[in-house]
A = this chain, B = another copy of it.
Amino acid sequence: MAANTRRIEIGDVVIGGGNPVAVQSMANKKTDDIKATVEQIRNLEEAGCELVRVAVPGREAVEALPKIKKEISIPLIADIHFHWEYAVGAIEAGVDKIRINPGNIGSENLVAKIIEKAKDFGTAIRIGVNSGSLHPKYSKEEDAPAALVKSCLEYVRFCEAMDFHNVVLSVKSSSVVDSIKAYRMLAEQTDYPLHLGITESGSLMSGTVKSAVGLGVLLADGVGDTIRVSLSADPVHEVQVAYQILQSLGLRFYGPEIISCPTCGRCDIDMIPVVEEIEKRLMSVKTPLKVAIMGCIVNGPGEAKGADIGIAGGKSEGILFKGGKAIRKVPAKDMVGELMGEIEKLIEDVKEKESQ
């Protein structure tokens, strides 16, 4: 996406310059609890997380960084506020990127020390301006998105004056509307890759909706090179939701897509448990498949035909569809088993083809 942004390397992940939108998340264990942090990051990796950030609020966290990095296989990003010396320490510790909000680091002189060090080590910096922690100079601006963008671009110019261009930008707000406005404005004025996120977006459900709307609107316009969904929940959910957003827009593929009807008074089968069961069984499948689970004969056969594999449920039996054709009838009680059997066969076929 956003083929006109610059290409920035963060460890072995490249963002911007037309590369796939990268999915990131943030560990929420105490960073100096190395065991817990590493375990969480490994869970995130398994869920498909491509870049991971940890908070670095103290010296112990700085010291934990090289030990964490050794134990994980995705690029590590250090999140630093207030303390320039932790930023310098994190870069020396070998992290792949740091995230700072220069507004809370202190004088330009201190920010310059960080940039100098990042230049020496080839470390990328995200300039992450947030509505909740704007530089006092801008915090009185009435137009919040404009204030975020102005503040961010001022730091960009500061980096450029030091001939430092290894930069990723973010202008997050807890307001979806303000975030959309700010990122759109920023995308017009810069070609650095953009890290998208809606900050402090809330619980699993409301945070998912806010992130899907805000990030969805921007990504549909081609804005955004890496995304982080923020949820007050287990960060593994952040990764899952991020991929669902990207997959819905055809930007990344993550796992089988289930096309299932919302059920209505026409529905002849008890759909919801069937969908839940199939979804659960498909959780670990990474083969691109479209699976239709339909409860009646109105949209059922049509949608099931469009899918790789599908079932249209009837009163006592369902019709299995494969590759657009009805293949056989199955009794209602065997639907989940029969559908899963066909899905497994299909996955085997795909694997066989790939191995040839």
Contact = CB atoms under 8 A, between A and B. Distances in A.
A151 to B, nearest CB: 13
A267 B302 CA distance: 50
B209 A232 contact: no
A114 B82 CA distance: 69
Nearest to A56: B265
Interface in A61-110: 61, 79, 81-82, 104
Identical subunits present:
2
B258 A202 contact: yes
Given A212-B209, A213-B216, A248-B209, A261 B299 contact: no
A244 B29 contact: no
A272 interface: yes
A263 interface: yes
Interface string A160-188: 00000000000000101100100000000
B248 A213 contact: yes
| Chain A facing B: main interface SS | mixed
A148 interface: no
B206 A258 contact: yes
Contacts of A112: none
A133 B248 contact: no
Contact of A131 (B27, B213, B296, B302): B302
A249 interface: yes
A200 B27 contact: no
A95 to B, nearest CB: 14
A57 B266 contact: yes
A55 interface: yes
B260 A232 contact: yes
B206 A216 contact: no
A60 to B, nearest CB: 10
A149 B261 CA distance: 22
Which of A28, A54, A82, A233 neighbours the largest number of chain B CB atoms within 10 Å of its CB? A28
Contacts of A272: 232-233
Given A212-B212, A248-B213, A265-B57, A259 B174 contact: yes
A193 interface: no
Interface string A216-227: 110010000000
Interface in A26-52: 26-31, 37
A176 B209 CA distance: 15
Contact of A299 (B200, B250, B298): B200
Given A232-B262, A265-B37, A199 B299 contact: yes
B245 A209 contact: yes
Which of A55, A230, A262, A276 neighbours the largest number of chain B CB atoms within 10 Å of its CB? A262
Interface in A239-277: 240-241, 244-245, 248-250, 257-267, 271-272, 275-276
A-B residue pairs, 7 tightest by C-beta: A132-B302, A213-B216, A55-B265, A212-B212, A132-B299, A132-B303, A230-B262
Interface of A: 26-31, 37, 53-57, 61, 79, 81-82, 104, 130-134, 174, 176-177, 180, 199-203, 205-210, 212-214, 216-217, 220, 230-233, 235, 238, 240-241, 244-245, 248-250, 257-267, 271-272, 275-276, 279, 292-294, 296, 298-303, 306
Given A205-B241, A210-B244, 11 more contacts: A28-B262, A54-B265, A81-B266, A132-B306, A133-B302, A177-B249, A203-B260, A209-B212, A213-B248, A232-B260, A232-B271
